[in-house]
Structure 1
């Protein structure tokens, strides 16, 4: 008899399982994939380079509690993520900063004068309703088209004005030369990889794991008191109100016989090529190897669900499922897919920790 049946061995499922296990609860984690860790799963490829199977995951947070929770299960490799964007035939820093502007426009602004530029180009948007409004209110129409319009269309198959404002509210602009993509207080990569960290999280005598198994297959076969569901909420209800749309990704992995392929971990391609970005994993992991592996990402509509699409009509459909979920006893929904939310890793973990707080009071 298990106290909790946890569906999904990603960050939400692993976090709740560990906290509950430490409180004496018996937990069974079930995942339909053949590995633990969900989308943070990493592994060594044939060239012995550690890569992320589901695209780059760079950990960053300002939440001390989340950082301390993960730090129980991993040491950290110090890593400050840098991104370049290929526009107008140049590789320029992203997010847009002082150097980006000076490179694009052959200007010589400094940190004291750059705001003159932004004040001249940004548009007065009375009400921020969508992602385009967020961007043009900060950097104006021209930079919007250079950096965001094409990238967003490739990523979501929607233009920024069709998407909720939360999609681009995570992308800042800077009036200094700081090239880091994130400025959070806590940043780093698990020293021995995400999969090793995941192994440590679920390594507890009160936690059992079953892979290659779906909720449908297991729900009548074992005894349990409560369910924590971190898969797609519409899937739980057999999509009876309709299917919630997600964006998926196709990854093209290439290993090259050279030490490095590019000068930073990630290069964005907002306007050229089919792919949105290229990740070179050796920058993220700090590995030494004569070869290097890159991964190109092409967004698509079908496949593994990665990103809930934040459009008003999708949120409305989710709210119908949410209302159904609220009527259930002893069934809880967490994580990106379970709450149809576009969340960073730290937000997923914090949501799980807060959930445990609420049920353990």
Structure 2
């Protein structure tokens, strides 16, 4: 009999939710984390009494009531509503694209006027869009694309929009109402006290080793557990036998500022191409902070290289084909569960990661995850 029922590789949301259900069933878990902290990319750090999102803004939102009830059983959530602002060369626009945006851009006041302008501009693209630029113009018109989509997208991907496939942007939200709420989901908020409160609850009762690379000691750790829950990069697990999957990465620059309020909102997107960062996050606004100082973080997209943190899978046809080869291998594994953003090579919002882990827990433990919390 092995020492642990489960070896959990990584300590992000997928592993945490799975561990929580495993512990409810009395299962023993060992968590292996390469970083010096648990929580993956939702980890927060206390700076000047402010809960700083170390790896970029994480705003919880979902329309899944069961997921919402689950996270609220772990921590109390505040009423934060995501209403980011776009800065285009000093011009400030509300996001998502709504009547406040259109009123500022075109000095109009009615949905009828806004719709007429956008519909006229969309006519520029005839036939099937051949690239991301044409797709975006087809969705929102030339002017919104030029000011609020083009530069931001090119910084994110490190490529000209004309070189990016059209399918990357399937939709761009356009609202003919004066509503700055970015998400349409029924529920949203930030855990009071930061995401570390949730992480601590999810991994209660687990043995945890930080600074540990599972793949460097794979044989040893496999000998300790009955089943491995692997949330690292799937291509690395198979030693890149088919080649390396591509990712985009991020670099963060944070600073403490001796002022109470730097930008008046949690997130400002910089949508021109010349500004090297994509956004500035002012963390205190996530929890309506009243501290005398503030902490801001500039976010820079970078090309991922070995040793960097992989943030966004590059979901083009080439990489999806490569991932499918790895997924076919993974499907044959009897003692390994692949999950999460890196294990499944998929961009996941937080609620979707939790849904996925719940579904797997239901399958593995024979429980109804909808009522488990």
- TM-score of the alignment, normalized to the shorter chain, above 0.5: yes
CA RMSD of aligned residues (A): 1.9
TM-superposed deviation, 1:355: 1.2
Q: 1:4 maps to what in 2? A: 6
Residue 161 and residue 65 in structure 1: after superposition, are their counterparts in 2 closer, same or farther (change >3 A)? farther
Shift in alpha-carbon separation, 1:170–1:63, aligned structure 2, 3 A: farther
Cα deviation for residue 326 of structure 1 reads 1.4
- Corresponding residue for 1:221? 220
Show the counterpart of 1:31.
33
Query: Relative to structure 1, is the Cα distance of residues 219 and 333 closer, same or farther in structure 2, using a 3 angstrom cutoff?
Result: same
| CA deviation after TM superposition for structure 1 residue 88, in Å | 4.9
Query: In the alignment, which residue of structure 1 is the partner of 2:285?
Result: 283
CA deviations 1:229-282 (Å, max 9, x no partner) are 101001111112211111111111121111111021111111141000001011
Return the alpha-carbon distance in structure 2 between the equivalents of residues 231 and 164 of structure 1: 27
CA contact (8 A) 1:110 1:176 kept: no
Paired position in structure 2 for 1:332: 337
- Superposed counterparts of 1:109-120, under 5 Å: 109-120=109-120
Partner-residue secondary structure (3-state), 2:220: coil
Structure 1 residues 176-225: Cα deviation after superposition (integer angstroms, max 9, x where no partner): 11012212111000011101211011113xx2221111113443334211
Q: Give the Å deviation of 1:350.
A: 0.7
**Counterpart in 2 of 1:344?**
349
Matching of residues 345-360 of structure 1 within 5 Å:
345-360=350-365
- Superposed, which structure 2 residues align to 1:242-257 within 5 Å? 242-257=243-258
User: Alpha carbons of 1:55 and 1:125: their partners in 2 closer, same or farther (altered >3 Å)?
Assistant: farther
SS at match of 2:56: coil
Determine helix, strand or coil for the equivalent of 2:190.
Answer: strand
- SS of equivalent residue, structure 1 residue 9: coil
Asked if 1:267 corresponds to 2:259, the answer is: no
| Mapped partners of 1:230, 1:161: distance in 2 | 34
Moved over 6 A (4+): none
Shift of 1:114: 2.9
Deviation, structure 1 residue 296: 0.4
SS in 1 for 2:219: coil
Deviation of residue 125 (structure 1)? Answer: 6.2
Asked whether 1:292 is paired with 2:297, we answer: no
The aligned residue for residue 371 of structure 2 is: none
Secondary structure of residue in 2 paired with 1:343: coil
**Where does the alignment leave 5 or more consecutive residues of structure 1 unmatched?**
none
Distance 1:252 1:286, change over 3 A: same
Contact 1:163–1:311 under 8 Å retained in 2 = no
Contact 1:131 1:169 in 2 (8 A): no
Structure 1 segment 1-361 matched on structure 2, within 5 A: 1-45=3-47, 47-106=48-107, 108-123=108-123, 127=128, 131-132=132-133, 134-160=135-161, 162-163=163-164, 167-169=168-170, 171-204=172-205, 207-222=206-221, 223-271=224-272, 272-302=274-304, 303-361=308-366
> Aligned residue pairs: how many?
357
Query: Contact 1:111/1:175 (CA < 8 Å) preserved in 2?
Result: yes
Shift of 1:226: 1.0
Judge conservation of contact 2:266–2:283 (CA < 8 Å) in 1: yes
Deviates more, 1:279-288 or 1:211-220: 211-220
* Shift, 1:166, TM fit: 6.4
CA separation in 2, counterparts of 1:170 and 1:338?
26
**Partner SS, residue 241 of structure 1:** coil
CA distance in 2, matches of 1:148, 1:89: 16
Distance change (3 Å), C-alpha of 1:62 and 1:120: same
TM-score, length-scaled by structure 2: 0.90
Asked if 2 retains the 8 angstrom alpha-carbon contact of 1:6 and 1:228, the reply is yes
Say whether the 8 Å CA contact 1:125–1:133 is kept in structure 2: no
